A and B are shown apart, each in its own frame.
Chain A
């Protein structure tokens, strides 16, 4: 597999707590990779290190063969690479309408003309079936609609990599499934590479090309979802059985 996003020896500690202790991960272009693991094990920390929201203590991150872990801001602009981040709680601006939230990165971080911005945002809202709610504030939208606005904002800059931090938190099973469908659908449509953190096992495996299991600061398993059973180490089996994976997989008739 050609790695589009390559992470090597990534380390991050908070005080005495070594959260990431040499994470190695290869993510293929235009794929969906899901990171699973116990709560508080460092999955979100890993995403935040990739997005430069946290500074890693050591290690390297390469995107399409270019190092971006040193002086990230400069590297971002020099290489012309782009990450988008979809936050667990959406992180929408309450005082801005859905339209303004989606338009924000274009208005503030690009030199596009207002007309061009309007065309792109209108098209994005139409694709997300949000045109009728464009002028509503986040407080007036349902949970699913907020997720779609957040997704629209994450995708409007046409990023190469989108990082999803537990995108289905707080949603009912039906909405969870539709969010996963949406991610898979837009990944095909927009062609971005998705790195996902999720606790929704096994539902998330339906859209995942690869699964990475983070445990004790390292990636202990990396492979296709249907390899989980065959390659399951005892600790991973324990984690999966606690996540009801075995029971649910048999009722679903397979992970993929």
Chain B
């Protein structure tokens, strides 16, 4: 049993090392690429623009539900005036970065893992290598840089729309005073809260996109099956591991920030 545990621990350490080298290689490769701006624009479209509608929708409904739930909790203590504080801080500190990351993983991360897996199976990645084009810099680098740009922006969008959702249920439906709601939002949120949310967004962006790209890129080595089944397994594992990593990293970062 100890041997099995040791072997598993070593395998996790090896995988983490390989993942880190993969991410670093992609970043280094990106800056050695030609026409970086064009590739970055495409990647921003893939991660940022295409994820915007789902982020806005989930942000709105999260805010609506939080407004509802927190109102009925706070009203028991006669503290419904603190609704703005509760909604804003929960979203900016925790839910915004975490749910944004999970949504991007579901939308862009799974697509990325599948696309890279198909490109691996179709020998397109090998073809890049034979053309002396660095596949990591060409395929993964732009997406990683785009994640660094898009995750904080998408998180900010999620937070703002979520806070507006809280206003809709709290003030429009449940008659909390709008002036009090917005006043509490502006008073309670400090720069440190916003900064913490952005740090999380950046970390989640690098982790999730690296994991999704890593799983897809290494479909031939990491998936247990060849062909189409291997691609689907890569996509599934990419989503599962990215989501678990987001939650684990959230706990770690929060414990450091608080």
Q: A: which residues have CB within 8 A of B?
A: 48, 51-53, 76, 83-85, 87-89, 91-93, 104-105, 107-109, 153, 157
Q: B: which residues have CB within 8 A of A?
A: 33-35, 122-124, 126-127, 129-133, 138
Q: Is there contact, CB below 8 Å, between B123 and A91?
A: yes
Distance in Å: Cβ of B123 to nearest Cβ of chain A = 4
A87 in contact with B126 given A105-B133, A108-B133, A157-B131 (CB within 8 Å): yes
Q: Is there contact, CB below 8 Å, between A53 and B126?
A: yes
Q: Is there contact, CB below 8 Å, between B132 and A91?
A: no
Distance in Å: Cβ of A128 to nearest Cβ of chain B = 17
Closest partner residue, chain A, to B130 (CB atom) = A85
How many residue pairs, one in A and one in B, have C-beta atoms under 8 Å apart? 45
A108 in contact with B129 given A89-B122, A91-B124 (CB within 8 Å): no
29 CB-based A-B contacts, threshold 8 Å:
A48-B126, A51-B129, A51-B130, A52-B129, A52-B130, A53-B126, A76-B132, A85-B126, A87-B123, A87-B126, A88-B123, A89-B122, A89-B123, A91-B122, A91-B126, A91-B127, A92-B124, A93-B124, A104-B131, A105-B133, A107-B34, A107-B35, A108-B33, A108-B34, A108-B131, A108-B133, A109-B131, A109-B133, A157-B131
Q: A87-B127, A108-B138 are in contact. List 11 more A-B contacts (CB 8 A).
A: A53-B129, A88-B123, A89-B123, A91-B126, A104-B131, A104-B133, A105-B132, A107-B34, A107-B35, A108-B34, A108-B133
Interface residues of chain B: helix, strand, loop or mixed (majority):
loop
CA distance A171 to B171 in the complex (A): 69
Distance in Å: Cβ of B124 to nearest Cβ of chain A = 5
CA distance A87 to B34 in the complex (A): 25
Closest partner residue, chain A, to B42 (CB atom) = A95
Closest partner residue, chain B, to A87 (CB atom) = B123
Closest partner residue, chain A, to B138 (CB atom) = A108
CA distance A76 to B133 in the complex (A): 13
